Homo-oligomer: A and B are copies of this chain.
Amino acid sequence: MRPRLTTKDYIDGILNGDRMVLSRAITLVESRLSGDRELAQQVLMGVLPHTGNSSRIGITGVPGVGKSTFIEVFGQHVVSMGKSLAVLTVDPSSQRSGGSILGDKTRMEVLSHHPLAYIRPSATGSSLGGVAHRTREAMLLCEAAGYEIILIETVGVGQSETLVRSMTDFFLLLMLAGAGDELQGIKKGIMEMADAIAITKTDGSNRPLAEQAVSEYRNALHLFSLSESGWNAPVVTCSATENEGIGEIWDLIQNYLTLIHANGYFHKSRQNQNVDWLRSLIRQQLEDRFFIHPEIAEQWADTEQAVRSGVELPLPAAQRLLHRFFKEE
């Protein structure tokens, strides 16, 4: 077993950009052991003054749309310009943890061996709020370690996109051409959160379909209001296998960041991210403490079942559990 690191070991290691320590710190923030939680808090406190300096980019899309392949190629473009890059993945459905995401390090074969890139497939779990906190904390650790660009990949089938959206500066939605079956999995509303849509796999016989998809999505996006950032979400095409359109996506992200730095939206958005985070930490902690309370934990499954089947009504059920929790009467 590796010797336990002290708070100072963690902080120094991270700030020096030591990947081994960074990885162990991310494992630490993901741990649910209460001793680990305390140490994790101290490490986070120590590095927090050194966070906030990266460009945070979220990437989503249905399974198989080509997210990992895109990141492999896009990431190489980023590091080829001398920028350091950390890649995190969020996958709230723990069943998938043995699946494709764990295979990503091999899918990102070239990128994962580049000295400027750090890839961390992580953050699966049952509670979405919990996943969100661990991802945010992992992101902060990567920032403290000096990574300039953070990419967060999430699967666009649940609610994790909303969370990733709320902790990133730019949100890229990858879509497949051929608005048929392939789109069945995309959650309603995700399209509207995107700062850009890229039609993936625009190569070979897919090209005509992709061009058609571009104009369909452009029309669809035009039905919606201009976003608060003042930016019009563009729809572009790309092919990771042919390395086409990748540099253009990097450029448009730079244009977006330039715009929001100039018009003050970046600053405002980061301030809002902080207040959101404060509120969500409080909310999450209150809920966590409620649900790990021994009496609640014991009664929850039965109560939920009783409410679902209509045997007990939500209002009295909630009162009953809350009285227990606050040890009233």
With contacts A192-B192, A193-B188, A226-B184 known, is A318 near B216, CB below 8 A? no
Judge whether A95 is part of the interface by a CB distance below 8 angstroms.
Answer: no
Chain B residues within an 8 Å CB radius of A220? 219-220, 223
- Interface hits, A223-239 → B, CB 8 Å: 223-227
Judge whether A322 is part of the interface by a CB distance below 8 angstroms.
Answer: yes
- Interface hits, A182-237 → B, CB 8 Å: 183-189, 191-193, 216-217, 219-220, 222-227
Stretch at the interface among A6-14, A66-74, A301-309: A301-309
Q: How far is the CA of A135 from the CA of B235 in the complex (A)?
A: 40
| Chain A 278-289 near chain B by CB (<8 Å), digits 1 or 0 | 100111011101
Q: How many copies does the complex hold?
A: 2
Judge whether A274 is part of the interface by a CB distance below 8 angstroms.
Answer: yes
Q: Which residue of B lies closest to A192 (CB)?
A: B188
- Interface hits, A160-193 → B, CB 8 Å: 179, 183-189, 191-193
Judge whether A314 is part of the interface by a CB distance below 8 angstroms.
Answer: yes
With contacts A189-B188, A192-B189 known, is A316 near B223, CB below 8 A? no
Q: Which residue of B lies closest to A326 (CB)?
A: B289
| Residue of A41, A287, A318 with most partner-chain B CB within 10 A | A318
With contacts A315-B48, A319-B41 known, is A307 near B189, CB below 8 A? no
